[in-house]
Structure 1
Amino acid sequence: MVSWTILAALVAGISTVLGLLGFPSAVLFGGLAGGLAFSLSTGRTVDVPSWSFTIAQAIIGVTVGAAVDFQTLADLGSDWPAVIVISVVTLVLSVVAGQLLRLHRGVSPVTASFASVAGGASGMTAVAHDLGADDRVVTVIQYLRVLVVLLAMPAAVSVVFHADTGTAAGVTAPATSAAGVAYSVLAVALGIGVGRALHLPSPAVLGALLASIALGAVPAFADVDVPPWVQAAGFVLIGLQVGLRFTLDSLRAIGRMIPTALLVIAIIIGACAAFGVLLARLTGVSELDAYLATTPGGLYAVLATSADTGGNVTFVTAVQIIRLLLVLLAAPLLGRWLTRRSG
């Protein structure tokens, strides 16, 4: 009980500070940093039940599935081909750029790919361990990219695109409701069962993703969101599982990767911006909307920025969700192919 009390205090305190500082996914990094601090400073060990990580993975899958709105996707109309092609090319380029991380000893092709793939940071963090990647490296670099994106976005919007903010209501967090809780519980339970029955790679994430999309078609769960506290529970459990596996050697190794990681992140952000310009030319949307649609990370901040600048939120949402689904669906195939290729 003493160990759990110390761990809980560390996680709660760090999560609160990161939240006040506006850090992306504060509870996930609070869990990671709290677990890391506990592991390195106390020398104690705690046994986190494996089923808790499975549930956390399923919550991430449900959160992604709940964001899928078929009407929003249908509104793309004739822009579908351009969006799909640019999304696929962006993902391929980010994976290729990520191979620079292999310059550091011990980084496998799978880890390098999952750490650098553009978009879906929470999803990649959830599936990385199951698919053979080092989830410590993946988590740190994925969220380092999200942080860079969020810091760069205000400057890009105001300086490059000269956009005025405050022209529309922002995107607010989903409210807790009985239907939302029921939807989340059912989707998690069904998803884990379906994922295992179908022998899906990373069954909790992908099974819950499919179950949440299917349940979303039920009238009783129309327009229902996953409550914020449910999402927070999933994030903190995943962060905790990753953080508790850190050692001094692994921390030093990841620290040495940061300069290379920042170079990879710069390449990915620059490429996404260039593809955003191309997307604007192909679809006729504004360059600001195309930039936000192709931005590699920070989904909720992107949607809030789009709404706040009076942009085409429907288009931005659709493109971001398509890429997110492509990332999660392609990750198992990519992981298996890279594993076989590297022997």
Structure 2
Amino acid sequence: MSARPTRESAVSWIILATLVAGVSILLTIAGFPSALLFGGLLGGLVFALATGRTVAVPGWTFTIAQAIIGVTVGASVDLDVLADLGSDWPAVIVISVVTLLLSVLAGQLLRLHRGVTPVTASFASVAGGASGMTAVAHDLGADDRVVTVIQYLRVLVVLLAMPAAVSMVFDADTGTAAGAVSPVTTTAGVVYSVLAVGLGLVAGRVLHLPSPAVLGALLASVALGAVPVFADVDVPVWVQAVGFLLIGLQVGLRFTLDSLKAIGRMLPTALLVIAIIIGTCAAFGVLLAELTGVSELDAYLATTPGGLYAVLATSADTGGNVTFVTAVQIIRLLLVLLAAPLLGQWLTRRER
């Protein structure tokens, strides 16, 4: 009696793996941002809608994926870079907070569509931290399908618009800035990642953190980064790939035909929200340039809502102030991840 279910389960996994691998490869060749996350999402979506089969993905895999995202974010935090802001700290903090609040307010337009809750609208629209929002959305009561699609739609729009803005508005040459810098795999990088994930999962539970896997791993990775042996270590590309792929897969498998149609209907509203967010961030970039004395191009890149690696590559390629851009982007990213659990809990209680 058990042989048939086992065979069917194996066939289901083979079909799913083939779909995910095929879509991921195509998106990677096309240069699509976060190709593996969307490979997992689209592969899982096609599998769920087209085959009628189900697969039992162990819950612990999603927890590990969340922790990997937390470690990836934490590894990007350089305390020396943040310290270099000096007297610009107040302006950076205020503008970061205001742009986040305004992006959340703009996102409430998504509630015009039936079934979109305040927490889903907020997490889908918050400026920056797309991978972090995708990782914590489900834990904090949001529809992670909507959050993932709209967050990465904004990233795609940002990546498409940034080269034109840099060359036409700021009259700067961009060269090959659109490519992300890929950390090299080293033994130290693997050890750092494993330790940060393990310690982060324990710390998240012991400290009773909201979204413990993401925030615990983020804190653990920052702490480990202060240890000399891990000072210049990055999370290997394949480790990041595992995290993105597993999160995308978990989200994709939860799609239904009704949910897909609902997201399709809200795309025009989502594009309007994205345009408002990008315009708002650009306007505050001008203000940031006035307050800090950096160039308008540096301020624009520092406040760009998404595409962190492409933003940093563009700054380096145009001879900009990479330290300033990195510091502002990291501060906003940390604010997003630290504030998201509190915002989610408050909105959920308010809605109830």
TM-score by length of 1: 0.99
C-alpha distance in structure 1 between counterparts of 2:205 and 2:264, whole Å? 36
Counterpart amino acid of residue 164 in structure 2: A
4+ residue runs over 6 A deviation: none
Any idea what the Cα deviations from partners look like across 1:90-118, whole Å, max 9, x if unmatched?
A: 00000000000000000000000000000
Cα shift at 1:78: 0.5
Counterpart amino acid of residue 225 in structure 2: G
5+ unaligned residues in a row in structure 1: which ranges?
none
| Percent identical | 85
Cα shift at 1:22: 1.1
From 271, 279, 294, the counterpart of 2:303? 294
From 238, 243, 255, the counterpart of 2:264? 255
Mapped contact 1:136–1:243 kept (Cα < 8 A): yes
Cα shift at 1:129: 0.3
SS of residue matched to 2:313: helix
C-alpha distance in structure 2 between counterparts of 1:39 and 1:270, whole Å? 37
From 46, 53, 73, the counterpart of 1:44? 53
Mapped contact 2:95–2:288 kept (Cα < 8 A): yes
Counterpart amino acid of residue 212 in structure 2: P
Counterpart amino acid of residue 304 in structure 1: A
C-alpha distance in structure 2 between counterparts of 1:241 and 1:126, whole Å? 10
Cα shift at 1:166: 4.2
Cα shift at 1:172: 2.6
Any idea what the Cα deviations from partners look like across 1:164-196, whole Å, max 9, x if unmatched?
A: 23499x863110000000000000000001101
Name 1:93's counterpart in structure 2.
102
Name 1:180's counterpart in structure 2.
189
Does structure 1 residue 34 correspond to structure 2 residue 37? no
Mapped contact 1:100–1:260 kept (Cα < 8 A): yes
5+ unaligned residues in a row in structure 2: which ranges?
1-9
Any idea what the Cα deviations from partners look like across 1:232-269, whole Å, max 9, x if unmatched?
A: 00000000000000000000000001000000000000
Does structure 1 residue 118 correspond to structure 2 residue 118? no
Does structure 1 residue 152 correspond to structure 2 residue 168? no
Name 2:87's counterpart in structure 1.
78
Does structure 1 residue 133 correspond to structure 2 residue 139? no
From 213, 221, 244, the counterpart of 2:222? 213
C-alpha distance in structure 1 between counterparts of 2:237 and 2:57, whole Å? 23
Name 2:343's counterpart in structure 1.
334
Counterpart amino acid of residue 128 in structure 1: A
Q: Call closer, same or farther: CA 1:193–1:271 in 2, change over 3 Å.
A: same
Any idea what the Cα deviations from partners look like across 1:99-144, whole Å, max 9, x if unmatched?
A: 0000000000000000000000000000000000000000000000
Mapped contact 2:44–2:249 kept (Cα < 8 A): yes
Counterpart amino acid of residue 185 in structure 1: V
From 113, 116, 120, the counterpart of 1:107? 116
Counterpart amino acid of residue 211 in structure 1: A
C-alpha distance in structure 2 between counterparts of 1:20 and 1:65, whole Å? 28
C-alpha distance in structure 1 between counterparts of 2:208 and 2:90, whole Å? 31
Mapped contact 2:166–2:174 kept (Cα < 8 A): no
Name 1:223's counterpart in structure 2.
232
C-alpha distance in structure 2 between counterparts of 1:317 and 1:173, whole Å? 16
C-alpha distance in structure 2 between counterparts of 1:50 and 1:219, whole Å? 34
Mapped contact 2:163–2:174 kept (Cα < 8 A): no
Counterpart amino acid of residue 166 in structure 2: V
